[in-house]
Structure 1
Amino acid sequence: MNKRILIIGGVAGGASCAARLRRLCEHCEIVIFEMGSYVSFANCGLPYFIGDVIVDEQKLLVATPELFEKRFNIRVCTDSEVLAIDRTNKSIEVCDLKTGRKRNESYDALVLSTGSEAVWPDIDGIDLPGIYVLRTIPDSRKIRGNLANMKSAVVLGAGFLGLELAENLKKRALKVTVLQSTDQVMPALDKEMARFVAQYLQKNDIDLQLNCQVNRFELNQDQTLTVHRQDGESIISDAVMVSVGVKPRTQLARQAGLAIGDLGGIRVDETMQTSDSHIWAVGDVVEVRNVITGEWQLLPLAGPANRQGRLAAAAILSNGDQQEIPSTYRGVQGTSVCGLFDLTIASTGVNEKTLQKINYENYEKVYLHPGNHVGYYPGAKPIHMKLLYDTSNGKILGAQALGESGVARRVDVISAFIQMGGSVYDLEEAELCYAPQFGATKDPVNLAGMIAANQLRGMHPLAKWEELLETHVQVTEDKDEAAQLLAFILDDPFTQAQLVDVRTEAEFLQKHIPNAINIPLDNLRDRLNELSREREIWVVCGVGQRAYNATRILQQNGFRVRNLSGGMQTYETYNGDSEQ
């Protein structure tokens, strides 16, 4: 069938849809309409173009209109804004932005890949000169062109893009301040894991200010900007980068009367079809199902957009003269990665905040801090990991990891297991590559599975750090006060908590949890008489391994015992005192 297929928007979703349409059907007419001047470019590379990591702007162009024409026989109309959709007559109204001329284009099938747009906060002075947003190549060109006049910059927002901008501005020798309205960076992470990132930012001379609300921008006579905070403090800067989030660009869909979800994205089915049987939608503009929770969510990432574009192409042609091709979208699990100086931050699945929000009761978490490869091989770096799993069946729910090496590989492995419905028992038995410079005979992925599986078998009962530090003690900025409160709680027989630190005496003296007693693991069997059999024992060590061995000794000697997962490394993140 010689269908006429129009695609509104290029970049990831629209461009991949167009290319696959052509691979599936040589006889269809395919036209892409792009409001900007670039049909397919690397959004994710824009911060690095500003940071001079990517020097040649042409490297950001994934595909040009000429390539689409010559290789795929696809016509691309850039600088062409689609003004309206006429569903009754199956046509769109297009305006050529260079000439101002308008025309109508008919379609048999229409694909919306209109993407997302930056959220501009409602702050007085937000439209002043010197305030920038980064979404397109012209945006990056504008920022890069003004860098010579900047010595300082304020980044509004500490999500992925905001922190990547902060890093690259710092590389261009600017003094950088990051302002975040909430109490943590990177909302995709749980708070205790995000503290590692905050510490790393400060280590790299980024001024990070959390719980910071901005209520006004002011342009000064010397063309600098004053950023006024709600607490009365202010910051003077040469520029402000707004990166507080994005929202789906749904104006066309709303004009056409398509169904819009509660989160503001276009509602689509498993074939990416909208409420109109002739219109599909892909990418940042749609709402998608989370494969773990089943909840609708927005996920503005290039990987899912590409897959959605491919599936939409197959769905559009599934009733044509092509062989039937599977064209259903399984949903998303939010796998993502971010580089920040030498740190890699990655996650997959759901975080604990999400599980708590949807009242998911049957879950547990473990923390571990293994090396990226064996310790005897030079250059080993720690990976800080958190694994979430269902206690009823061991199914993996999510993972978060940070470190300077080997992080993305481990999260990718766990992501694949989640996609296949895997459990912590599968992680425990996973056969992964090993050589001294790449990993260990027990890879961090295996270790995460072993720790979780042992907990489910009853061999590794876990105590929760929240019970130690948050449920009973509100940790404040006053560390002395927090320590006194903690000591009181641990000394209260009602809590039945006897805290035992099984590290060496030297490690214990260097730093320990208040009111803990020190019985090194190697001496534990000889000192069992020092422990109470009436009170439950909570065991802690450096990263969790020695505490697990202590747990097994104590369990088999009749003690009630639980392990504080991840040891002192995790304690420091909960206590806001983590170090790289």
Structure 2
Amino acid sequence: MNKIVIVGAVGGGATAAGQLRFYDPDVQIIVFDRDSTMSYAACGTPYVIGGVIEDEESIIMTDPKRFKKKRDIDVHMRHEVIAIDRAAKKVLVHNLETGEQFEESYDALILAPGGSAIVPKIEGLDTSKVFTLRNFEDMQKIDQFIKTAQPKNCVVSGGGFIGLEMAENLKNIGLDVSLVHRSPTIMSILDTDISLMIEKELALQDVKLITGTEIKKTEGKTIHLSNGIDIQADFIIMSVGLRPNTRLAMKAGLTIGETDGIQTNEFMQTNDPSIYAIGDASENFDMVTGDPKRVPLASPAHRQAFIAASHLTGNKVAKKGLLGTSVLKIFSLTAAMTGLNEKAIQDKNLAFATVTHTGNSNAGYYPDHSEITLKVHYDPQTRKILGAQCIGGKGVDKRIDVIVTAIYGGLTIDDLQALELCYAPPYSSPKDPINMVGYKALSK
């Protein structure tokens, strides 16, 4: 392999480039990205806006000049790849600064184009101040607006990860926040009972939550909702979803899967074996069911980058599927999940049972402890773990991480009671909540 072109210079693309150089000191690597900032921690952007991260530059991992000097990789920002000639193995590149177009050949091509924020067609939306948060420039625009216009209130549309993180951070800097969500409950990847615990926390923190509705029309600072309620807001954060950037792949005749992502195999190859797809726009498969799955999160993108780079340099490490493991901080609560939730299990008509344990994160007599609820779904016949969720104060993430490891290693729900986990009063109990879930499942 002599020359590899990568489309996208953020999480997946930049990681793939770095991995390729690590495994092959001689291969030529060229990266193109239409934005102006490479390799930044997108997950940190809400916390820059909220003032938790004081230096916005700290979330930028590197820049083209440093990347070239350290890794001998050419990165061209503000360059958009607009076409792929698969037969000739060339891409057509548009320099967004100069307007120039040119061709670049490749032996292998990695697509890491990410996704774009969905902005619904809403009457009057152009009369209101509306922001999305998908890249570094979006973050800067929101931050600058808040600092110069000094708004007092806002509407966040969409109760997923970005919406909830923005609601928390905007509230923390003193804004009056209303969160509007179309579905009956927020965070659709969670079971309803877990979502309702988050809704209770939002109420305690004085975030006005309006579910079962959406923005129907706007007139400047007046936001008309579909349920007849009007809200006054100085600006809107639109976080209703992510659309995978697959236009380039579609034009090139690459297969788009059921989840609207670019379909890939276990090595992240598309239907053209010389073209790989990773990150938010790629579709792989579910580790539990084998069904098509797309997970637009950082950890899967980094793993996929490693798999593609390994395969290209002669080391065939297969992807074992996606679980969609994720964690969310919302004020004093942490919520985390992995695998299938109750709705997904029911939609797939799978037999399942559920065990739930509510207890302390660590010894109740120790001053620093909190209540956590751990909920695990499993197959009652095979005892295979199908998915899990946890919510509470401290220690939520480590419980889900143990469940992830158990699923990956093929452990059953019954095996959880036998795990010899860390114990000292500041950290757990002699019988950890993980063990308790296993004991409760055994009793069933």
Kindly report which structure 2 residues correspond to 1:332-481, keeping only aligned pairs within 5 A, or say none.
Answer: 332-361=322-351, 363-455=352-444
Q: Deviation string for 1:353-373 (max 9, x for gaps)?
A: 100000002x10012111001
Question: Do structure 1's residue 244 and structure 2's residue 243 form an aligned pair?
Answer: no
2:67 matched to 1:71?
Answer: no
| Alpha-carbon separation, structure 2, partners of 1:126 and 1:340 | 28
Match of 2:40 in 1: 41
Deviations, residues 197-238 of structure 1 (Å, cap 9, x unaligned): 00001000100011012211112xxxxx21111222211110
1:306 is matched with: 302
Corresponding residue of 1:571: none
Question: Which residue identity does 1:40 align to in structure 2?
Answer: S
1:342 Cα offset (Å): 1.6
User: What is the number of equivalent residue pairs in this alignment?
Assistant: 442
Distance 1:273 1:42 in 2: 25
Q: In 2, Cα distance between the equivalents of 1:58 and 1:235?
A: 35
SS in 2 for 1:259: coil
- Give the secondary-structure state (helix, strand or coil) at the position aligned to 1:201: helix
Whether the aligned pair in 2 keeps the contact of 1:424 and 1:450 (CA below 8 Å) is no
- Corresponding residue for residue 469 of structure 1: none
> Which residue identity is paired with 1:397?
L
1:125 to partner: Cα distance: 2.5
Q: What is the CA distance between 1:126 and its match in structure 2?
A: 2.9
Contact 2:128–2:218 (CA under 8 A) maintained in structure 1? no
- Which stretch shows the higher mean deviation, 326-335 or 189-198? 326-335
1:268 and 1:127 map into 2 onto residues whose CA distance is 38
Query: What does 1:103-502 align with in structure 2 at a 5 Å threshold?
Result: 103-148=102-147, 149=149, 150-219=151-220, 225-318=221-314, 325-361=315-351, 363-455=352-444
Query: Within 5 Å, which residues of 2 pair with 1:80-91?
Result: 80-91=79-90
Q: Distance in 2 between matches of 1:255 and 1:394?
A: 45
1:81-101 deviation line (CA, Å, top 9, x unaligned)? 111111111101111111111
Letter in 1 for 2:364: G
1:272-300: CA deviation from partner (whole Å, max 9, x where unpaired): 11111211110001112011021112210
3-state secondary structure, aligned to 1:179:
strand
TM-score normalized with structure 2 length: 0.98
Residue type of the alignment partner of 2:347: K
The one-letter code of the counterpart of 1:357 is: D
The 2-side partners of 1:158 and 1:277 are apart by 38
**Aligned counterparts of 1:128 and 1:332: Cα–Cα separation in 2:** 41
Contact kept in structure 1, 2:157 and 2:214, CA below 8 Å: no
CA distance in 2, matches of 1:392, 1:67: 55
CA distance in 2, matches of 1:294, 1:359: 14
Q: Distance in 2 between matches of 1:107 and 1:162?
A: 39
Displacement, 1:36? 0.6
Question: Is the CA contact 2:287–2:320 (under 8 Å) kept in the aligned structure 1?
Answer: yes
SS of 1:127 mapped into structure 2:
helix
d(CA) in 2 for partners of 1:210, 1:56: 34
Say which SS state the counterpart of residue 88 (structure 1) adopts: coil
Could you say if the C-alpha distance between residues 123 and 276 of structure 1 is closer, same or farther in structure 2, counting changes exceeding 3 Å?
same
* Separation (CA, whole Å) in 1 of partners of 2:58 and 2:175: 25
Distance 2:79 2:42 in 1: 20
Q: Conserved in 2, the CA contact under 8 Å of 1:394 and 1:453?
A: no
- With 170-179 and 89-98 compared, the bigger mean Cα shift is at 89-98
Kindly provide the amino acid, as one letter, of the partner of residue 154 in structure 1: V
Q: Cα distance 1:347–1:326, how it changes in 2: closer, same or farther (>3 A)?
A: same
Q: Which runs of 5+ in 1 are unaligned?
A: 220-224, 319-324, 456-580
Cα distance in 1 between the residues matched to 2:350 and 2:121: 34
By how many angstroms is 1:121 displaced?
1.3
Q: Deviations over 1:473-523 (max 9, x none)?
A: xxxxxxxxxxxxxxxxxxxxxxxxxxxxxxxxxxxxxxxxxxxxxxxxxxx
What amino acid maps onto 1:117 in structure 2?
S
Note the aligned Cα RMSD (angstroms).
1.0
**Contact 1:428–1:445 (8 Å) recurs in 2:** yes
Per the TM alignment, residue 64 of structure 1 is displaced from its structure 2 partner at its CA by 1.4
For 2:437, what is the secondary structure of its paired residue? helix
Residue 67 of structure 1 deviates from its aligned partner by 2.3
Partners of 2:322 and 2:285 in 1: how far apart? 6
TM-superposition CA deviations, 1:315-338 (whole Å, max 9, x none): 1222xxxxxx23211111111001
* One-letter amino acid of the structure 1 residue matched with residue 129 of structure 2: G
Partner Cα separation in structure 2 for residue 172 and residue 367 of structure 1? 36
Shift of 1:26: 1.0
Taking the aligned partners of 1:432 and 1:142, their CA distance within structure 2 comes to: 46
Structure 1 runs (4+) deviating above 6 angstroms are none
- The answer as to whether partners of 1:118 and 1:246 remain within 8 angstroms in 2 is yes
* Bigger Cα displacement from structure 2, 260-269 vs 122-131: 122-131
Structure 2 stretches lacking a partner, 5+ long:
none
Larger-Rg structure: 1
Shift of 1:263: 1.9
Tell me the amino acid that sits aligned with residue 438 of structure 1: Y
Distance 1:277 1:442 in 2: 49
Amino acid of the structure 2 residue aligned with 1:166: A
Which whole-Å CA distance do the structure 2 matches of 1:454 and 1:326 have between them? 42
Corresponding position of 1:564: none
Shift of 1:23: 1.0
1:142-186 Cα shifts (integer Å, max 9, x gaps): 111111421000000000110000000001100000000001111
Q: Higher relative CO (CA 8 A, sep ≥ 6), structure 1 or 2? A: 2
SS in 2 for 1:170: helix
State the Cα distance separating 1:129 from its structure 2 match. 4.2
State how 1:528-543 maps to structure 2 within 5 Å: none
